[in-house]
Amino acid sequence: MNLRVVRREFRPQECAGLSSDLHPVLQRIYVTRGIRTAADLDMSLERLLPVGTLEGVPAAVDLLLRHRTGRVLVVGDFDADGATSTALMVRALTGWGFASVDFLVPNRFKFGYGLTPEIVALAATRSPTLIVTVDNGISSTAGVTHARSQGIDVLITDHHLAGAQLPEANVIVNPNLAGSTFGSRSLAGVGVAFYVLAAVRRRLDAEKLTPAGAPNVTEFLDLVALGTVADVVPLDPNNRVLVAQGLRRIRAGRCVAGIRALLELAGRRANDLTAADLGFAVAPRLNAAGRMDDMTIGIQCLLADDPTTAQELAARLDELNQERRATEARMQIEALAAVSRLRETGPRFVHRSGVCLYDETWHQGVVGLVASRVKDRVRRPVIAFALAEDETLRGSARSVPGIHIRDVLDAIAVREPDLISRFGGHAMAAGLTLERSSLDRFAKAFDAEVGRWAARGAASDAVETDGELSVQEIALETAQALRAGGPWGQSFPEPSFDGIFTIRSSRVVGDRHLKMWVEVPRTGRSFDAIAFNHIEERAAFVLPAGSVQLVYRLDVNEYQGERRLQLLVDHVLPVAIATPVVDLFSGN
């Protein structure tokens, strides 16, 4: 599939409300992301949506306080959002005088996702009076029913989309429930938990129940920032405040020992940390626990107060991440080879809207990463499946802008009720379970449903950029201004640019990365550039040369104490097919 470079439209007059002290390139970037005034750039806590406007929060506070002297069990999810949500809930409730607070996270290989009846049975051995789910629970109808039948109260805090039937929990807090009027449906699971806890702290203060020296709820914003970035939820104005405030705490050294230890292992400095550092350095190491072993290790790392203990747990997470990377590399090679074989079928692949991949040797915890990598290559939704049990497959789906993958699965489930055993997720990512014998039938249904979405105008072959930079703007000063102008993330994308360059030299480094020295034609100005994970098959790869169109980001590369400009290249395109369209306005 040939990629089309589509430039976001910039209207200079819309910069009028922004400070003239901002770097001109940053002004342009902000305008194309819906920023119009200085107030839009205010990242203070006062800009957060009021706690009481999230439906269910007052009832959740009442329920939690009724169990202040009971036994509270937090049931989390096995990803970074779930780990940070769990650590946040345990730290806050424990610090605020709750008598007994413990946590339990399902082992994904044994129990699967959510508050299942099996997890409730395991939880019951700890005699909880209240189960609090974080980052899960909205689809756990059977598990909640089982818990209530055992006399256990249930509070669900979640952000995933609900199914046709809601679980019969005592209280549900979820900004994505039908009829919700809360101003940010994009809260991550850790954001929902933060809102509940902010209200708990307010009530404790009002009733003079807060223990002396208890931590303020804002002291947990480092965990909120990490979970929000890791879950790749849209950075709407509310989430940008949460992330910006969390980053501010981490930069000031006021973060949990586990985050500090993970940053040190990744070689990232806390004092100038960015959201991207959390997403690409800390989150993968934390996620590795849930993918390869048990997320309990990750939660324990985030709960550790002793630096030595945190470092030991972080080292174990780093080992699991290295194991994950090796497993993912093997699976990715196998998946891309399968895609290559599909491409050889010609029109059958060209006209395929959605791609399903399966190998009986694939690792359950890594199929989501493989689906994401393949999706980036083929520019269409991908589901990668792994064998869960003898006759059951678990799939992880990744989508492209314009195709809501959870709604795709829902439509298939409505049309063919016996096909999918269970599913859940977001617009861009989802998970599902089905019988092994149903894979071919599902693949056809998936392709057909994605095709219906694509027919409505989804442009998965388009790469959006912020246009072309002048040779003077391709500078370290610009890179530093953009770095400081974040946080950047989903729906508030990091600035990227396109332009014609001449490749003066290129070589392969680390087997999969393309290192280049590129020049802006007729200027004599040249730049260091690198395209990470650019090479699919080393043996078949031909080093690019001559004129190319690059889609790239500006990066500040630190080497031996010196800061240098580097171009991070996302796409290397032949000039012959590079035909930018300058008519797209991204809005918010």
Q: Which residues does residue 352 pair with via DSSP β-bridges, in sequence order?
A: none
Fold of the CATH domain 50-319: inorganic pyrophosphatase (n-terminal core) (3.90.1640)
Q: In tens digits, what is the pLDDT along the chain, a chain of 588 residues?
A: 567 899 998 888 888 888 889 999 999 999 999 999 989 999 999 999 999 999 999 999 999 999 999 999 999 998 999 999 999 999 999 999 999 999 999 877 777 778 999 999 999 999 999 999 999 999 999 999 999 999 999 999 999 988 889 999 999 999 999 999 999 999 999 999 999 999 999 999 999 999 999 999 999 999 999 999 999 999 999 999 999 999 999 999 999 999 999 999 999 989 889 999 999 999 999 999 999 988 999 999 999 999 999 999 999 999 999 999 999 989 988 998 888 777 666 555 556 789 999 999 999 999 999 999 899 888 889 999 999 877 899 999 999 888 999 999 999 999 999 999 888 888 888 999 999 999 999 999 999 999 998 887 655 678 899 999 999 999 999 999 999 999 999 899 999 999 999 999 999 998 789 999 999 999 989 999 999 988 866 556 788 889 999 999 999 988 777 889 999 999 999 886 444 444 333 333
Return phi, psi of residue 206, to 5°. -65, -35
Residue 476 three-state SS: helix
Q: What is the DSSP letter of 306?
A: S
Q: What is the DSSP string of 104-135?
A: E---TTTT-SSS-HHHHHHHHTT--SEEEEES
Return phi, psi of residue 306, to 5°. -80, 125
Q: What is the 3-state secondary structure (H, E, C) of 353-381?
A: CCEEEECCCCCCCCHHHHHHHHHHHHCCC
Q: Hunting for tokens 């994904």 — which residue is that?
A: 108
pLDDT score recorded for residue 349: 55
Decide: 544 and 503 in contact? Cβ < 8 Å.
yes
Paired tokens of 3: 């990629």
Q: Hunting for tokens 């807060």 — which residue is that?
A: 210
Decide: 244 and 192 in contact? Cβ < 8 Å.
no
Q: How far is CA 154 from CA 61, 112, 204, in A?
A: 13, 19, 21
pLDDT score recorded for residue 576: 60
Q: Describe the crossing of helices 237-251 and 189-206 by its angle, rounded to 10 degrees.
A: 80
Domain 345-460 indexed as CATH 3.30.200.20 = no
Nearest to 374 by CA among 412, 400, 409, 401: 400
Nearest to 36 by CA among 182, 237, 186: 237
Paired tokens of 202: 């307010």
pLDDT score recorded for residue 344: 66
Q: Which residues does residue 318 pair with via DSSP β-bridges, in sequence order?
A: none
Nearest to 15 by CA among 40, 35, 33: 35
Q: What is the DSSP letter of 492?
A: B
CA distance 209 to 203: 8
| Dihedral angle sign, alpha carbons of residues 199, 202, 206, 210 | positive
Residue 88 three-state SS: helix
Preceding omega of 117 cis (within 30 degrees of 0)? no
Q: What is the DSSP letter of 505?
A: E
Q: Describe the crossing of helices 141-149 and 117-124 by its angle, rounded to 10 degrees.
A: 30
Decide: 465 and 207 in contact? Cβ < 8 Å.
no
pLDDT score recorded for residue 350: 56
pLDDT score recorded for residue 579: 46
Sheet holding 130-134, edge to edge: 100-104, 71-75, 130-134, 153-157, 171-173
pLDDT score recorded for residue 550: 96
Helices and strands (DSSP H and E) totals, the chain: 18, 18
CA distance 220 to 259: 12
Q: How far is CA 28 from CA 32, 304, 340, 553, in A?
A: 6, 43, 40, 15
pLDDT score recorded for residue 161: 86
Nearest to 235 by CA among 22, 382, 406, 40: 40
Position 588, amino acid: N
| Dihedral angle sign, alpha carbons of residues 470, 474, 477, 480 | positive
**How many other CB atoms sit within 10 Å of the CB of residue 582?**
12
pLDDT score recorded for residue 305: 96
Fold of the CATH domain 4-13+463-584: OB fold (Dihydrolipoamide Acetyltransferase, E2P) (2.40.50)
Gyration radius of the chain over CA positions: 24
Paired tokens of 489: 């993330």
Domain ranges in the chain are 4-13+463-584, 50-319, 345-460
End-to-end CA distance of the chain: 28
Q: Which residues does residue 113 pair with via DSSP β-bridges, in sequence order?
A: none
Question: What are the pLDDT digits (tens) for 523-565?
Answer: 989 999 999 988 866 556 788 889 999 999 999 988 777 889 9
Non-local (6+) Cβ contacts of 493 within 8 A are 33, 464
User: Would you mind telling me the total number of residues written for the chain in this entry?
Assistant: 588
SS3 content of the chain, % helix, strand, coil (to 5): 45, 20, 35
| Dihedral angle sign, alpha carbons of residues 164, 454, 586, 531 | positive
CA distance 136 to 535: 37
Q: What is the DSSP letter of 543?
A: -
Q: What is the H or E stretch that residue 132 is in?
A: strand 130-134
Decide: 72 and 93 in contact? Cβ < 8 Å.
yes
Instruction: Tell me if the pTM is above 0.85.
Output: yes
CA distance 98 to 72: 8
Paired tokens of 541: 């790869």
Cα 471 to chain center, whole Å?
33
